[in-house]
Amino acid sequence: MTEPDIFSAVDGYISGLFAREDAALSCALQEMSAAGLPEISVSPVVGKFLYMLAKLARARRILEIGTLGGYSTTWLARALPPEGHLVTLELEARHAEVARANLARAGVAGRVEILVGPASASLRALAARHEPPFDLVFIDADKEGYVEYLDLSLRLARSGSVILADNTLRHGRVLDEGPLDPSARGIKAFNERIATDPRLDSLILPIIRGDLDGLSISIVL
């Protein structure tokens, strides 16, 4: 097997054992595809991992930045206790509409609030609500915004909160020397921040999903 083949095979093996999609999740992907949304949801294995981390953190309040069609939202919302709450931020009204229907079908709409608009504005609006801190934050919107989303999320977190970010290796493009595209630059700046910020303990886990990418995990000290 060439490397990409063995990566896909292993990913399929793990998802077959541990991350099987139910009808609501597979239907969500079909609805997104039918609506012409980009096929950039997290993989089933990453979805299950987000769910496990939310359970490990005993998260009651989750913040997600980048909803798309609500696929990762569903995995995260399913990790919440019945009285839990998830706020998810999405720029595109069209994406939020698809997500709303998918979340209702998955039976988690009652626990999920979607805020439509630029994430930086929604994060500032959330700070103004003076609600209890979020236990877990998942950053997965435009890569240029990651550093700003981290700064704003820290204002909404507490000591012990977990901050996760998707796509932090970008097929290894963060290793490239020379000029980077804006999204790789955004990711690289984010990675350097979580590595050096004295308020955080962090790590990037390499993740295989056909291609190589990374999920960062930071604990707020």
From the list 123, 59, 53, the residue with the least C-alpha distance to 88 is 123
Position of minimal CB gap to ligand DHB:
40
Q: Are 62 and 32 in contact (CB under 8 A)?
A: no
The residue count for binding ligand SAH (CB under 6 A) is 19
Q: Does 66 bind ligand SAH (CB under 6 A)?
A: yes
| Residue ranges binding ligand DHB (CB under 6 A) | 40, 140, 166-167
By CB under 5 A, residue 166 contacts Mg ion: yes
Residue 37 or residue 152: which is nearer to ligand DHB going by CB? 37
Distance CA 65, CA 73 (A): 10
Helix pair 93-105, 23-34: axis angle to 10 deg? 160
Site for Mg ion in 71-130 (CB under 5 A): none
Name the residue nearer to ligand DHB (CB basis): 135 or 140: 140
Element (H, E) at 124: helix 119-128
Residue closest to 147 by CA, chosen among 212, 74, 93, 196 = 196
Site string for ligand SAH, 9-38 (x = CB under 6 A): ------------------------------
Q: Which does 72 bind (CB under 5 to 8 A by kind): Mg ion, ligand SAH, ligand DHB, none?
A: ligand SAH
**Contact between 119 and 141 (Cβ < 8 Å):** yes
Q: What is the binding site for Mg ion (CB under 5 A)?
A: 140, 166-167
